[in-house]
């Protein structure tokens, strides 16, 4: 309630100021936040060797520096993905770099991996009590001489502190980064991370986060490389560089990645196409434009075992997660599914 009242005032501020204040408020009030009610057992998901209390996760980019994973879990998220974290701290792009497109229920960002770097994030993760699932999303510094080496460094440092690691090769805001989705580069990247993982005492699940702006040929390549490399899953998808002609907001032509409602259809289409290519062999996390229980349900039926969201939080209050879970359960019951797992890809 305190945070909802604060959030409605914060909506009057520029988007990034409001976001930083939300992080600080969540940090300050974390111990006072009432814990969300325990989830209905039909929402539980067993995936990646982990027990998720519910399939609704907070997507990367909200808590880039692992400052508030536990506060977000208390809100009722089934898991939280922190990051993107790079080996060295970096400032990101000049402001303004985050825009709310209220009429379109969308966001455009060109943050450019602003983050505190892997050492600061590792210290926070060590200090954490680890009472919920927290994945870490890793990336390369903008000025990296060898991008793959940056991923290796971040992976080696953070994987032992994470429940899973997401490899972000799909941000449109680091020039050239998405080239790592190409067959040759991706093979080298995933082989390097696989070899690094083999040296760790425990095998942390590895997922690849992909863009929605990929053609059928690129999807074929990614599916083949991911299966051959033995990673556990794909996160589909990051923001899009496309601008649907239907956008109404004055910010529509800002450079960066578009997320929120207009991303729902294209990201769900790519998710379905990936499920057709990988079936039960990979765990898919569906993300892009989820703002309701029926959106989450559509991702699950398209092949997602888990779902994430971010942009809808900019427009809805903290009740959003609880509402989505209730609606999702109603969808499952209506269609005769005993649990989330039964509806995946159906
Ligand atoms: C402000 C902002 C920052 C983001 N930063 C990251 C990031 O650092 N790493 C990443 O993998 N995705 C990042 N994303 C993408 C989201 O994780 C998600 O894939 C995308 O926004 C689609 O979901 P949504 O429509 O629910 O927002 C960011 C999104 C937004 C809006």
Pocket test for ligand 1, best of 61, 117, 171 (most atoms within 8 A of CB): 61
Among protein residues, the one with the nearest Cα to ligand 1's atom 2 is 61
Span from the CA of 309 to the centroid of ligand 1 (angstroms): 8
| Most ligand 1 atoms within 8 A of CB, residue of 18, 60, 296 to mutate | 60
Mean pLDDT within 165-175:
95
User: Who wins on pLDDT, 28 or 179?
Assistant: 179
pLDDT given at position 2: 52
- Of 77, 65, 84, 74, residue with least CA distance to 24: 65
- pLDDT, residue 22, reads 83
Contacts of 30 (CB under 8 A, 6+ apart): 68, 70, 71, 74
Which residues are paired to 164 by β-bridges?
A: 135
171 belongs to the catalytic site: yes
pLDDT band at 20 (very low <50, low <70, confident <90, very high): confident
Ligand 1 site, residue 141, Cβ cutoff 6 A: no
- Of the given ranges (15-19, 95-99, 240-244, 298-302), which has the lowest mean pLDDT? 15-19
Ligand 1 pocket member 85 (CB < 6 A): no
What b/e sequence results for 35-51 when a residue is b if at least 16 CB atoms lie within 10 Å of its CB, and e otherwise? ebeebbebbbbebbebe
Q: What percent of the chain has pLDDT over 90?
A: 85
Q: Is the pLDDT of residue 217 over 70?
A: yes
Question: Per-residue pLDDT averaged across 4-21, rounded?
Answer: 71
Please give the structure tokens belonging to residue 196. 């690094």
Q: Of all protein residues, whose CA lies closest to atom 28 belonging to ligand 1?
A: 61
Task: Tell me which of 8, 20, 170, 171 is the catalytic residue.
Answer: 171
User: pLDDT at residue 175 above 70?
Assistant: yes
Mutation pick for ligand 1 pocket among 93, 237, 259 (CB with most ligand atoms within 8 Å): 259
Cα of 171 from ligand 1 centre, angstroms: 8
pLDDT digits (tens, 9 = 90+) for 54-76: 999 999 999 999 999 999 999 89
User: pLDDT at position 60, please?
Assistant: 98
Contact assessment for residue 235 and residue 271, using Cβ atoms and an 8 Å cutoff = no
User: Cα of 281 to ligand 1 centre, how many Å?
Assistant: 25
Give the pLDDT mean for 118-127. Answer: 97
Per-residue pLDDT reduced to its tens digit, 24-41:
888 877 777 778 889 999
Q: Is the shortest distance between the CB of 98 and ligand 1 below 6 Å?
A: yes
Reported confidence tier of residue 17, pLDDT bands at 50, 70, 90? confident
Taking the CA of residue 238 as reference, the ligand 1 atom at the shortest distance is 19
**Half-sphere CA count of 120, side-chain side, radius 13 A:** 15
Alpha helices in 75-136 (DSSP H): 118-127
SS3 call for 284: strand
What pTM was computed for the model?
0.97
Nearest-atom number in ligand 1 for the CA of 19 is: 1
Q: How confident is the model at residue 12 (pLDDT cuts 50, 70, 90)?
A: low
Is the minimum distance from the CB of 238 to ligand 1 under 6 angstroms?
A: yes
């Amino acid at each position: 309630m305190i945070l909802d009242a604060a959030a409605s005032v914060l909506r009057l501020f520029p988007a990034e100021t409001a976001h930083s204040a939300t992080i600080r408020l969540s940090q300050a009030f974390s111990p006072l936040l009432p814990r969300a009610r325990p989830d209905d057992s039909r929402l539980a998901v067993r995936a990646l060797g982990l027990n998720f209390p519910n399939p609704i996760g907070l997507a990367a980019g909200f808590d880039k520096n692992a400052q508030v994973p536990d506060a977000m879990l208390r809100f009722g998220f089934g898991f939280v993905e922190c990051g993107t974290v790079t080996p060295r701290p970096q400032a990101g792009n000049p402001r303004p770099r985050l825009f709310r497109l209220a009429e379109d229920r969308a966001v455009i960002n060109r943050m450019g991996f602003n983050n505190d770097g892997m050492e600061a994030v590792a210290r926070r993760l060590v200090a954490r009590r680890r009472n919920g699932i927290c994945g870490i999303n890793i990336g390369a510094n903008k000025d990296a001489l060898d991008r793959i080496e940056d991923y290796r460094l971040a992976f080696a440092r953070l994987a032992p502190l994470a429940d899973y690691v997401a490899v972000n090769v799909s941000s449109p805001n680091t020039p050239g980064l998405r080239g790592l989705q190409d067959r040759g580069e991706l093979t080298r990247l995933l082989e390097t991370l696989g070899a690094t993982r083999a040296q760790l005492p425990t095998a942390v699940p590895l997922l690849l986060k992909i863009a929605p702006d990929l053609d059928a040929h690129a999807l074929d390549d990614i599916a083949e490389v991911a299966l051959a490399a033995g990673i556990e899953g794909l996160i589909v998808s990051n923001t899009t560089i496309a601008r649907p002609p239907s956008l109404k907001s004055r910010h529509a032509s800002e450079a960066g990645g578009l997320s929120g409602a207009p991303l729902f259809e294209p990201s769900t289409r790519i998710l379905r196409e990936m499920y057709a290519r990988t079936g039960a062999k990979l765990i898919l996390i569906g993300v892009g434009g989820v703002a309701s229980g029926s959106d989450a349900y559509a991702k699950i039926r398209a092949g997602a075992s888990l779902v994430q969201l971010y942009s809808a939080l900019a427009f809805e209050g903290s009740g959003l997660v609880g509402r989505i879970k209730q609606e999702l359960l109603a969808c499952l019951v209506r269609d005769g599914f005993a649990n989330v797992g039964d509806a995946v890809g159906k």
